[in-house]
Every structure is written in structure tokens, then in C-alpha cells.
Amino acid sequence: MAAPPSADEITLVTGGNGAIGAPLVESLASGAATVVSLARGAQPEGAPGVRRLSGDIRQGATLGLDDNTAADLRARVTTIVHAAALTRFDAPLDAARQTNVDGTAHLLAFAAQCPRLERLCALSTVYVAGRRTGTILEPELDHDRGFVNHYEQSKYESERLLRGEMARLPIAICRLSTTLGDSASGRVDRPAAIHQAMRFLHHSLLPMIPGTPESPVDVIPTDYAVAAVRHLAGAGFVAGGTFHVCAGTDAPCEDELIDLTIDTFLDHRPAWRRRAIERPVIVALDTFDLFRRSVEEVADSALAASVGVLGHFAPQLAFPKTFDDGQCRAALALAGIHRPPVRDTLVKVVKYLLDHDWGARAASGAAV
């Protein structure tokens, strides 16, 4: 286990303006190490002392930086948190690979030239498991079951690159589940596909969902994900380790998640009851696919939008799986980090979205 970062250490966070990268940068800035945030787009003003750089991991081993800046970083960086990714579920495979696979290869080439590097924590997704079912263990990766979308596939390919370099670089992998929002306030800073699905349900544009009533829906509080990554990239770093930052056996099933969401609508917006909206039907994947094709042919814009969002991620529910997180929970428990109740967070998030008119328009993913 690595020692905690000290004042003369530099932590580089790629994707520093992303859904996890941005709050992680803020959290790391409160520690001893100097934080450098690298991102393609504009970065939010935040904690003082953070050095914010414009770069692009797709642009070779200098990460889109000028030669002098890249050389200075290579000479000084001790920790890298690789959070940059194209997370759009509807992204073409070439685009997903360009960021998630080629970008990771460039990051590894950069890291190989960092003489002081002690830790490289790469963020991945539990859904590298693709269409596998059953219990998914943390050390597992290789399978031939296929994937629901190109995001999953490209992150799987990225992990294979990372594992291939573990013999010569200090690498750990954190596989994150779907993040909901803040466990205390329910705040959602980056509405995503799951929040969009909730909005469609509220507006009676979610007549059916693929899966089974018992399918686990693994979701976690965003603040838990950030706290976990901060620890596993710092004092809790274990070279060669793979950790599932997820709900595990505490994940609600599909039936329960729908009920909790609808009950929160009813409790927090009593007038919603008068709309007499039918509960979504949980159907087999082939039935959902037939429904999706029918909607596309009819070209009802509102319904097509809801089915389009669902079509790129909801089919994962038709491949029920539970992610084992024993190693992750044990490592976090040593630091006093425990996962907040997932169901409580879900209710707070739904209330927050209702109170804030669903926030910004949710997307099916983003580039960070």
C-alpha cells in the first residue's frame, strides 16, 4: 500500500472537467499534494491552487500539451488519475476507441516517461462485463459475451491495455458503477441517461423497460465514488489491483427502483397522482427491440427521444449481474469510508430533479 501524498508531490487528473473528474479535483485540492487538472474543454473555477491545463489525450504522448509543459509535468508528477473518457453510450466505435483506447495508450506512454511516478489510478466502468450475467468478481476481465454499447467495449479494450502495462508501471483500476448524485442533498451536477429515464417516466414517456423484475440496478452516490477514487489513488493505492466502486449486493432490483421512483413522485408531487400514469412494463429484450423499431418507424419525436436514450443503456438490464465489491469495501473501510444507503440517495436525487426542473437537459453521456 502506498504512502499518502505529500506536499512535494504532484497529482495529475485527466478529464478534470468531467462528472467524476471535476469533484475529484476539488476534493484532492484540499490535501497536501499539488493538483494539475487536464481537460479538453473549459474548466470550472474552483479550489485555489489547482493548475488547470488545456490538453487532449487523443493527441499523442504529450497529451496535447506543448513540449515544455509536457516535459515539466513528466519530471514532477507522482500520481496520475486517468478519468478522461468518452462516456456517450451512443458513440460510434471509432470515436469511442479514439478517446478510450488510443487516449489510454497515449497516457501510458506519457506515464512511462515519468521518473517519479508512484501511482496511476485509471477509472473504468463495471460494465466492461458487457453481456455477462451472474456474479462479476473484481479481478475478472476477459470474456467473449459481447457488449451492449461501444462505450462498454472501448473501456474493456482500454483495460486490456492497462493490464498489459502493470508489470512495468504502478497501475490500479477503479471500475465505477452508475453515479446518481450527492448522498446528502441529492444534487445532480451532470444529468445523465439514468436521470433522463426518470424524467421520461415522470412525463409518461416510458411505457416499457427491458430486463426482469429481479435485475439488479447498480447505482451509487457520486460523493461515494469520489471519496473511493481519492483513497484508492492515494493512501489506499495497490499496484495491480482492480476495485469495483459499486452498490454490489445492496443494488436495488429493477422492480424496486421503479417503485421507489414512482413513490417519490407521488410523495413529492401529489398532483402527479391525478395523471393516472401506468407503471412501465418490464419486458424481454427482444420485445423492447421490437417496440423501439416500431417507434422509430412512427417517428413520434417525444417517444422516439425517450426510447433512443433507453436503447443505448437499458438493454444492460436484460443481462442481470451482481458486482462483487469485497476488496473495494475492505480497502475503503480501513480509511473509514463507507457507502451511503443507495435507496436514500435515490429518493433524494429524484426530489432534487423535481425541485430543479430536471436540471440541464440530460444526455446519453459526454466527452470529458
- Residue 367's pLDDT is what? 42
Structural domain includes residue 101: yes
Q: Which of 46-55, 83-92, 165-174, 283-292 has the lowest mean pLDDT?
A: 46-55
Query: What is the pTM assigned to this prediction?
Result: 0.93
Question: Domain for residue 200, yes or no?
Answer: no
pLDDT for residue 364 is more than 50: no
CA distance 218 to 248: 7
Lowest mean pLDDT among 45-49, 225-229, 322-326: 45-49
Answer yes or no: is 262 within a domain: no
pLDDT value at residue 363:
43
Q: How far apart are CA 212 and CA 214, in angstroms?
A: 5
Specify the DSSP class assigned to residue 361: P
The helix/strand/coil state of 186 is coil
DSSP 216: B
Residue 74: the pLDDT is 96
* CA–CA separation, 204 and 214 (whole Å): 23
Q: What would the mean pLDDT of 63-75 be, rounded to a whole number?
A: 96
Predicted local confidence at residue 296, as pLDDT:
79
Q: What value does the mean pLDDT take over residues 261-280?
A: 83
247 within 8 A of 220, measured Cβ to Cβ: yes
CATH number, position 27:
3.40.50.720
Give the structural domain span for 332: 10-182+218-249+322-339
CB count in 10 Å sphere of residue 333 = 10
- Residue 63's pLDDT is 97
25, 37, 45, 279 from 52: Cα distances, Å: 10, 5, 9, 46
pLDDT classification of 349: cutoffs 50, 70, 90: very high
42/20: higher pLDDT: 20
pLDDT of residue 49: 79
Q: Is residue 275 part of a domain?
A: no
pLDDT tens-digit readout, 292-346: 888 878 766 777 877 887 888 999 999 999 999 999 999 999 999 999 999 999 9
Is 75 a domain residue? yes
> Residue 355 domain-assigned?
no
3 pLDDT band, cuts 50/70/90, is low
Identity of the residue numbered 268: H
Average pLDDT rounded to a whole number, residues 271-290: 85
The conformation of residue 340, written as its DSSP 8-state character, comes to: P
149-153, 218-222, 278-282: which range is least confident on average?
278-282
Q: Which residues contact 26 (CB under 8 A, 6 or more apart)?
A: 46, 47
Counting the structural domains of the chain, the total is 1
What percent of the chain has a predicted confidence (pLDDT) above 70?
93
Does a structural domain hold residue 364?
Answer: no
Residue 283 maps to a domain: no
Residue 6: pLDDT band (50, 70, 90) is low
Task: Give the range among 14-28, 196-210, 238-252 with minimum mean pLDDT.
Answer: 196-210
Average pLDDT, the chain: 91
Task: For residue 338, count CB atoms less than 10 angstroms from its CB and return exposed for 0-12, middle for 13-18, buried for 19 or more.
Answer: exposed
Per-residue pLDDT band at 361 (split at 50, 70, 90) = very low
